Amino acid sequence: MDPIQNLYAPGAGTRPPELAGRDELRETVRVVLARVQHGHSAKSVLMVGLRGVGKTVLLDRMREEAEEAGLQTLFVEASEERSLPATLAPQLRQALLKLSGNAMAQDMAQRGLRAIAGFVQTLKVKFQDIEVALDFDPEPGLADNGNLEQDLTEMLLAAGAAAKKAETVLSLFVDELQYINEDELAALITALHRAAQRQAPVVLVGAGLPQLRARMGNARSYAERMFDVHEVGPLAPEAARRAIEKPARDEGVAIDDNALQRIFEMTHGYPYFLQEWDKYAWDIADTSPISLGDVERAWATAYDAQFTKRKQPYQTQMSLATLSW
Ligand SMILES: Nc1ncnc2c1ncn2[C@@H]1O[C@H](COP(=O)(O)OP(=O)(O)O)[C@@H](O)[C@H]1O
Ligand SMILES: [Mg+2]
């Protein structure tokens, strides 16, 4: 099949042509955000799962849907090399600048920007990697104690107050949460907890590896009760079928049932492997429908290209925990 038309998208955070099997989780997050927008309580959401199950693309889609619903969002990816303040401050500033364009929220948004200024100027000594433009002078006493937990709390409360004036929700989409070190994670949890207590419309939708659950609990013992944790895993057979079949069908290409079945058996419905497999099968097939034979040949190619070089049995690779991105 024409490789130029090949829509499958193996990778990290690369959008799949069909985001299959995640409707329920998307709906859960939609309801959480809408509840908070209406002044009701709702727990923040965490999604945990192995590499390659599709957390990043799901988070990205949820963020897009929140924006479409008129909510104020920010998206950050935590990393081992960067501190939480350095990760968060620039995006928070962007969100506040947007909110300041709303007449009802302008004053509060500017106060939020002053909070960022206080936060950054005070904590820059400790977190030297913070780099963010300051739009206003700090307000003495606002988010400038020099204590991360207190200052982060004040900054989120100020940002939440601005979001409330704009009748929106500040939705923080944070990927790779497991990289945040324990002290900073504790500060974030406390800040979100205070925001919830004060009914500030601030919600975290986070994603991370399975160890995130324990890390959150270690950082703050009440974290367990603050978040709804959802496991993101392989796709169920129907969803996997859709992820494989729909993109091809949209291009006028069919896939034989036994070929579909084989792909599912070999990938166990793991999204990354589905994409990889489908991509090879598409490239190898000469004509529609893609047959079992094409899939078998794709297997050999994929195996050669991806797996033998790592000198590990494929089944070990299938654990995904060993993937190195
Ligand atoms: N629901 C899905 N349906 C089909 N393919 C998916 C789905 N979710 C993710 N993928 C694909 O799986 C791969 C890994 O997705 P990614 O979001 O990077 O996973 P994670 O963040 O969990 O490591 C990407 O190639 C992506 O296109
Ligand atoms: Mg990811």
Task: Kindly state the tokens that stand for 15.
Answer: 């959008």
Count CA atoms closer than 13 A to 308's CA, side-chain side.
7
Whether domain 235-317 has CATH 1.10.8.60: the reply is yes
Residue 291 Cα to chain centre, angstroms: 35
Protein residues with C-beta less than 5 angstroms from the ion ligand 2: 56
Say if ligand 1 is within 6 A of residue 234 CB.
Answer: no
- Terminal CA-to-CA distance of the chain, rounded, Å? 29
Pick 23-231's CATH classification: 3.30.360.10, 3.40.50.300, 3.90.950.10, 3.10.20.600.
Answer: 3.40.50.300
Per-residue pLDDT of the chain (325 residues; tens, 9 = 90+): 999 999 999 999 999 999 999 999 999 999 999 999 999 999 999 999 999 999 999 999 999 999 999 999 999 999 999 999 999 999 999 999 999 999 999 999 999 999 999 999 999 999 999 999 999 999 999 999 999 999 999 999 999 999 999 999 999 999 999 999 999 999 999 999 999 999 999 999 999 999 999 999 999 999 989 999 999 999 999 999 999 999 999 999 999 999 999 999 999 999 999 999 899 999 999 999 999 999 999 887 766 666 555 544 444 444 444 443 3
Tell me what pLDDT residue 316 has: 43
Q: Of all atoms in ligand 1, which is nearest to the CA of residue 13?
A: 18
The ranges assigned to domains in the chain are 23-231, 235-317
User: Which candidate, 142, 212, 169, places its Cα nearest to that of 37?
Assistant: 169
d(CA 85, CA 126): 10
> What three-state secondary structure class fits 160?
helix
- Nearest residue (by CA) to ligand 1, atom 27, is 16
Cβ-based neighbours of 303, under 8 Å, separated by 6 or more: 314
Torsion of CA 112, 115, 121, 124, to 10 degrees: -80
User: Which candidate, 104, 205, 115, 93, places its Cα nearest to that of 162?
Assistant: 104
d(CA 192, CA 202): 7
Say if ligand 1 is within 6 A of residue 14 CB.
Answer: yes
Task: Classify 46 in phi/psi space as left (phi over 0), alpha (psi -120 to 50) or beta.
Answer: beta
CA distances from residue 313 to 50, 178, 307, 309, 310 in whole angstroms, order as listed: 19, 28, 8, 10, 9
d(CA 204, CA 202): 7
Q: Identify whether 140 is preceded by a cis peptide bond (ω within 30 of 0).
A: no
CA of residue 55 to ligand 1 center, whole Å? 7
CA of residue 262 to ligand 1 center, whole Å? 20
CA of residue 76 to ligand 2 center, whole Å? 12
Tell me what pLDDT residue 106 has: 97
Residues 144-164 as b/e (b if ≥16 CB within 10 A, e otherwise) read bbeebbbbbbbbbbbbbbbbb
Ligand 1 pocket test, pick from 26, 57, 235 with the greatest ligand atom count within 8 Å of Cβ, gives 57
Task: Kindly state the tokens that stand for 9.
Answer: 């998208």
Tell me what pLDDT residue 307 has: 55
Say if ligand 1 is within 6 A of residue 51 CB.
Answer: yes
8 A C-beta contact, residue 99 and residue 109: yes
Which class for 209: exposed (0-12), middle (13-18), buried (19 or more C-beta within 10 A)? Answer: middle
Tell me what pLDDT residue 308 has: 53
Task: Kindly state the tokens that stand for 68.
Answer: 């479409």
Task: Kindly state the tokens that stand for 246.
Answer: 């729909």
CA distances from residue 4 to 72, 240, 246, 259 in whole angstroms, order as listed: 37, 23, 17, 22
Q: Of all atoms in ligand 1, which is nearest to the CA of residue 50?
A: 22
- Nearest residue (by CA) to ligand 1, atom 25, is 10
